[in-house]
Amino acid sequence: MENIIREYKCLDHGFVRLVDYMGDDTSIVQAARVSYGKGTKSVSEDTGLIRYLMRNMHTSPFEMVEFKFHVKLPIFVARQWIRHRTANVNEYSGRYSEMTDECYLPIPEQVRSQSTNNKQGRSDEQMSGADEIIETMGKTQKYLYSEYMELLDKGLARELARINLPLSNYTEWYWKIDLHNLFHFLRLRLDKHAQYEIRVYGEAIAKIIRQIVPIAYQAFEDYVLRSVQFSRNEVEALKRMLSNELPAEDKLIEIGLSKREIAEFKVFFVD
């Protein structure tokens, strides 16, 4: 196992670090079976149970596993992150302590124009003059921080002096969350449409937790992260397309479906 306690670098000055965790894959299984200890079940049976729970959205057993992270991140990323209101957070205070002079600057490849088909995001093409744009951002950041320090030197209260600092300024927090809600966070923040800067943090967290709950994380990837949902009308269309061309059961097993999944698949698309 990789050293999961180390800092996972994110962006230019940020990081994610696992501080502590409670539970693993066996904790999910124990909760689902309402038992004490590992019992006599095999690894394959435990794997099947976890995958069944994920596939059928039986979420409470996943809440038995918790993670606590130390995160350093730009304030604008923190404002997106905090919308996930299912965690416990304690953040660095600009009232008690001086803010640092560390601000986020994007790499040239991420300096892009507004997307024409996504009101929230950037396009796929790097803008011309990216280096000049980054230089302008950096100058503004340095000016605002120097102004902040001048106000502190004049005796202005820290809680007032900080208010002109940019959203690119870095903050830190401790963030504790259970596995079920963490999977929800990752489903949204690992999506290709998520803002690049928060996606970097999602990828770092995923690297950490997949080492602690490998079976649950694989199930999450298979049934949530890399899957799609169909509406009732789409299911009906697929039924009509597949009713006469459903592969043989051995072929479905070859592509990774269990016998239980094949039975469920037939209920939806054949029966």
* Residues assigned a catalytic role: 189
Nearest to 211 by CA among 65, 10, 52: 65
Nearest to 55 by CA among 218, 192, 177, 211: 218
Answer for the pair 65, 24: CB distance below 8 angstroms, yes or no.
yes
Residues with Cβ within 8 Å of residue 153, at least 6 apart in sequence: none
Answer for the pair 34, 223: CB distance below 8 angstroms, yes or no.
no
- Encode burial over 7-22: b for 16+ CB neighbours within 10 A, e otherwise: ebebbeebbbbbeebe
In angstroms, the CA 78 to CA 174 distance is 12
Answer for the pair 134, 108: CB distance below 8 angstroms, yes or no.
yes
Pull the structure tokens for residue 50. Answer: 């976890």
Helix (H) or strand (E) holding 74: strand 66-74
Nearest to 66 by CA among 101, 21, 96: 21
In angstroms, the CA 143 to CA 138 distance is 9
In angstroms, the CA 214 to CA 8 distance is 19
